[in-house]
Structure 1
Amino acid sequence: MAKPYREGHLWSFRLRVQGQDLYRTGFATAEAARREHDRLKHTLCMAGRPAHAGPFQATLGQALQTYALERFPFMKGARQDASRINRYLREAGLETVRAVPPVPSEPLPSTGTVHWSVQLDPVRRSRSIPQGLHAHRARQTARSTGTDRIRKQLARTPMAQILPYQLQELLDTMGREGYQAATLSLERSLLRRLFNYARQSWNWPEPVRNPATGLKLPSVQNARDRVLTNAEWRQICEALEDCRNPYVPPLLALLLETAMR
């Protein structure tokens, strides 16, 4: 067993197991470093070899990029998720992902319904901004300064080292900078799916608990108080006079009178 060694006032250790080279430091005593060494070794030996670089080497940004390449072809909403993932990839200096309609001649995965083909775009030092949107993009950048700073830290942090309070800080900062509750929920959902996928499909044993679960989010205020006006109903009736289906007018009347959704 590799023995803990002193680095300045702290203790550290190095461990190689299941093809992964791990380095840990910051322990107050040699015994604390030894306990963590034994725990990690036992966890990794029991779990087996992880896919890809593993949670101790792969950063959040790298994991998001790999997740997009593997899962986006089968996801109808891949383009929306790609926009969210690319914010992390740009902060980490990684190639961004783009979902495009698949070309029929391309070799496609043999399982599942393929909706998209995923491409990697080269890293750009600055994004091209269409004419007329410079002022809008400048306001967006000024508004999200704190969020971008935290995203950059997270995107460059190994997956195994990400903790719930870091993700909570991200969501809290987004809320303070004016992002709506629905946007926060989608951000949390993306991260939660990533950690679940890494554990279930990539055999990544760390973090033991999904750090994106149990986070505090503001409630989505989507309640509406909407009543059809008489003028709108008259317009609908006029349009129904030309309807060739005789069942549509009584159906709409039933919906209106009973307040059915």
Structure 2
Amino acid sequence: MASIYRHRNAWQASVTVAGTNKKQNFRTRKEAETWAAQLHGELQQAHAPLLGGPAKATVGRTLYEYAHLYTIHKRGAKQEINLINRYLLAAGLPTLQLQVTEQGGVDLTDAPPATELPFSFAGLRAKRAASREKTNAFRAGLSVLPVVQVSAQTMLRFMSAMRKDGLTDSTIQKELALLKHAFNCAQKHWNWAGFENPMANIAVPKGGPGRCAVLDEDAELALFDALGRCDNPFILPIVQFAIETTSRRGSLLRLRWRDVDLPGRTATLRLTKAGENQIAPLTQRAVEILSRLPRDDDDARVFPMTADALDSAWDRATTEAGLPDLRFHDLRHVGTTRHARRLRNPQMLASPVTRRTRCSRATRTCLWMTCLMHSMPPSPR
């Protein structure tokens, strides 16, 4: 809104847009009108709702913009981009990929057209899609729905579809948390006047109960035998090394030879989940595993494979070994249990396991007490 009026010995123009008011004096009325018209257009453009507002923006288009503005700055950007790409693919929008710039930064670009996947990868994705049929169908409809039409009932039905597919609380939490935060950002920062987050009063499920996996000798032999038959020669070593170091999959796949000190028996894990570098001590067994691997370049990765390649090989091997419910992350628990059986002080587990929180210390103490009780002879009656 613009107003032109006499003010003392000049013409004053006053422009107000979205609560922002600016005034300026001019010698003539024509100068005031020209300035007011130009400023009014600039302010309207600056305060225009992003993507045209919730009535025009679909959920898929909203997540595409959200990825460029927010996801790119997150530590877990790659995992969240993979989730967002499911909506983009269903909405017919270009999928996204993270790229490292020449300056060492991170950029988000449209992914090239998908090529035909290798047979093993295609089979893995088809298997996952079949187990999430209701979830994928609901997501496809949601991705093309204007945001203004998304209601609390819509999200509750989405949650129900995921429950019917048997998805865990942790998986449901990640999906709903993404949408809830995207709607929050749009409400606060995108000039979507009158828009209210439809998920504001919906309780997002918390992560499920912690898992505790222990491999007995027969199960371990069956697993290692199946892993040894994989075409990729690095699959078995990375699993054995994961057990010895109790490290996460992402840390192992990022590990480079320049960060490994075999004589000093340490490995530096870069940008761990805690957001910092950690020096992990290596057991003698871990040193032996690394010593058998080829080392051509210090800048090369110790385990040169993608996460998809590891997942595909892991799924095949665990199925062949009769352990379909075993996850790669469970190897952390397997390794921790082994360290607990060897040590007689729960605080000593902090070194080989590299866990630091109070909860982890309590877990180490519990494991130590459990293993100690199993090693004690039965009490006399």
Same fold (TM over 0.5): yes
- In structure 2, what is the equivalent of residue 121 of structure 1? 111
Paired positions, count: 191
How many Å apart are 1:102 and its aligned residue? Answer: 2.8
Match of 2:129, SS? Answer: helix
Partner of residue 194 from structure 1, selected from 149, 157, 182 = 182
Conserved in 2, the CA contact under 8 Å of 1:90 and 1:123? no
Distance in 2, matches of 1:201 and 1:123, equals 32
Q: 1:259 to 1:141 in 2, by over 3 A?
A: closer
How many Å apart are 1:216 and its aligned residue? Answer: 5.9
Distance in 2, matches of 1:219 and 1:73, equals 24
Partner of residue 158 from structure 1, selected from 131, 146, 161 = 146
Distance in 1, matches of 2:76 and 2:142, equals 24
- In structure 2, what is the equivalent of residue 146 of structure 1? 134
Summarize the alignment of residues 172-183 of structure 1 with structure 2, pairs less than 5 Å apart.
172-183=160-171
Conserved in 2, the CA contact under 8 Å of 1:160 and 1:207? yes
- In structure 2, what is the equivalent of residue 232 of structure 1? 342
Q: 1:123 to 1:193 in 2, by over 3 A?
A: farther
CA RMSD, Structure 1 to Structure 2 (Å)? 3.8
Is 1:101 the counterpart of 2:91? The answer is no
How many Å apart are 1:212 and its aligned residue? Answer: 5.6
How many Å apart are 1:184 and its aligned residue? Answer: 0.6
Distance in 2, matches of 1:64 and 1:49, equals 19
Looking at both structures, which has the greater relative contact order when contacts are Cα pairs under 8 Å and sequence separation is at least 6?
Answer: 1
Match of 1:133, SS? Answer: helix
Pair member with larger Rg = 2
How many Å apart are 1:219 and its aligned residue? Answer: 5.8
Distance in 1, matches of 2:175 and 2:341, equals 41
* TM-score, normalization by structure 1: 0.61
How many Å apart are 1:87 and its aligned residue? Answer: 0.5
- In structure 1, what is the equivalent of residue 70 of structure 2? 71
How many Å apart are 1:154 and its aligned residue? Answer: 0.7
Structure 1 stretches of at least 4 aligned residues deviating more than 3 Å after TM superposition = 215-219, 223-231, 234-239, 258-261
Pick the structure with more helix per residue: 2
Is 1:55 the counterpart of 2:26? The answer is no
Is 1:86 the counterpart of 2:196? The answer is no
- In structure 2, what is the equivalent of residue 210 of structure 1? 198
Partner of residue 124 from structure 2, selected from 131, 136, 148 = 136
Instruction: Map Cα deviations across residues 16-55 of structure 1 (whole Å, 9 max, x no partner).
Output: xx9xxxxxxxxxxxxxxxxxxxxxxxxxx9xx63123211
Distance in 1, matches of 2:117 and 2:345, equals 43
Question: Percent identity of the aligned residues?
Answer: 24
- What stretches of structure 2 of length at least 5 have no aligned partner? 1-16, 18-43, 214-332, 352-360, 368-381
How many Å apart are 1:207 and its aligned residue? Answer: 3.6
